Amino acid sequence: MTIKPIIIIPDPLLRQVSKPVERVDSDLTHLIDDMLDTMYDAPGIGLAAVQVAVPRRLLVIDVSKEGEDKQPLVFINPEIIRSSEDRSVYEEGCLSIPDYYAEVERPATVTVKHLDRLGKEQLTEADGLLATCLQHEIDHLNGVLFIDHISRLKREMVIKKFSKAAKSKVTV
């Protein structure tokens, strides 16, 4: 079990477009297990590989409620092939933007084509929290953050706050 450090803004890697996973092999399985450990430890309900500094199109999600059995989901090379016109609003946060939350409106239902952890192609139809979480994490693979969906003024305030914090860190 390895808990990997999670990168936070303004790390430029978070703005990079992740590359497709080419092979589902034991190295990838290890990375998936480390990402799940990292997500549960944080704790969070979703994590994209780029957040642990691996810019590959891979994410893990678990939207099970507290007290329920864990339901880890793995999405390799996920692609949204359909989104509903219905929209829903959730208050979102991000492990890469600690302690900041804002309401984001997104399609309420999405259908995602992806590989599972065995490399088998799957179609997942998601609604509710899972639909929002999937879209948030797939955004990460494209270098997009949830603050890109809020007003420019609010976004600039958040970025400024984290940039200042990063500058005031002393490197020796």
State the residues that interact with Zn ion by CB under 5 A: 94
Q: Could you tell me which of 46, 11, 49 has the C-alpha nearest to residue 141? A: 49
Residue 169 phi/psi, 5° resolution? -75, 135
Smaller CB separation from Zn ion, 24 or 59: 59
Smaller CB separation from Zn ion, 24 or 75: 75
Q: Cβ-count burial of 120 within 10 angstroms (0-12 exposed, 13-18 middle, 19+ buried)?
A: exposed
Listed in sequence order, the DSSP H helices in the chain are: 26-41, 128-141, 152-167
Choice among 68, 85, 103, 137 that is catalytic: 137
CB of 94 to Zn ion, least distance (A): 3
Smaller CB separation from Zn ion, 60 or 94: 94
Asked if 22 is an active-site residue, the reply is no
CB of 136 to Zn ion, least distance (A): 6
Measured from each CB, the residue nearest to Zn ion is 94
Q: Are 95 and 50 a contacting pair, CB within 8 Å?
A: no
Q: Which residues are catalytic?
A: 137
